[in-house]
Amino acid sequence: MALQSHAALAEIRDSLLETYASNDAMNQLVFSDLDPRAWRAQPPGQKGSGRTIAAIFAHLHNSRLVWLKNSAPHLKCPPPLDPDRCTIKQAAAAHRRSAAQCLRMLSDALSAAPNRRVSKFRRDGYVPTWPAGGTMFAYMFSHEAHHRGQILLLAHQLGCRVPEPNIWQWDKLWKQAGLTTRPR
């Protein structure tokens, strides 16, 4: 029975890691399909009342860096993004690098190994620390999904729609992320 439990947990862990890997594939699709005019366009409404798409993507990347520094200081962090200066190309490359390191962090955090190095998830210095594990994954994935939704809505409001249905084609995203399995 314990062997079956271990196998079931390993499958769940692997599915979560594959899902996080496909998360960056979703972001990369948005980067590649985004109209460059939308990148720094001011959001509708009162001036200065919201982030640009560039600033939202910089926030996502820079949040990853905080998670890495606080939860997995042994992993090398890529440089932060300047929301006022980064280009789409720079942001896409930075996201690939920070996603790879976050995947390494999650892989260790979701491991059953007694010598794992990531045992706590510290989102920032102002909130309580959590044990590393499933909740850590859920927080990281939902944070990115929330902001990706903001980006897609903002692009739409700016008249620069992104072909959204592509981010729901998970079989293709799995392949784009370099995964050899299908979603399970």
Q: pTM to 2 decimals?
A: 0.89
What's the domain range around 125? 14-35+48-176
> What is the rounded CA–CA span in Å between residue 165 and residue 171?
13
* CB burial string 36-51: b at 16+ within 10 A, e below: eebbbbebeeeeeeeb
Do the domain assignments include residue 41? no
Residue 130 pairs in a beta bridge with: 121
Q: What is the pLDDT of residue 164?
A: 62
Segments of the chain with pLDDT less than 50: 1
> What is the rounded CA–CA span in Å between residue 24 and residue 45?
30
User: In this predicted model, what pLDDT tens digit does every residue of 38-85 receive, in sequence order?
Assistant: 999 999 877 777 899 999 999 999 999 999 999 999 999 999 999 999
Please name which of 148, 177, 164 lies closest in space to residue 19, comparing C-alpha atoms: 177
Do the domain assignments include residue 61? yes
When divided into structural domains, the chain yields a total of 1
Do the domain assignments include residue 3? no
Q: What is the pLDDT of residue 181?
A: 73
Do the domain assignments include residue 74? yes
Return the CATH number at 150: 1.20.120.450
Do the domain assignments include residue 122? yes
Name every residue whose Cβ is closer than 8 Å to that of residue 162 and which is 6 or more positions away in sequence: 29, 30, 33, 34, 35, 151, 152, 155, 156
Do the domain assignments include residue 166? yes
Do the domain assignments include residue 7? no
Name every residue whose Cβ is closer than 8 Å to that of residue 121 and which is 6 or more positions away in sequence: 67, 71, 109, 129, 130, 131, 132, 133, 135, 136, 139
Do the domain assignments include residue 4? no
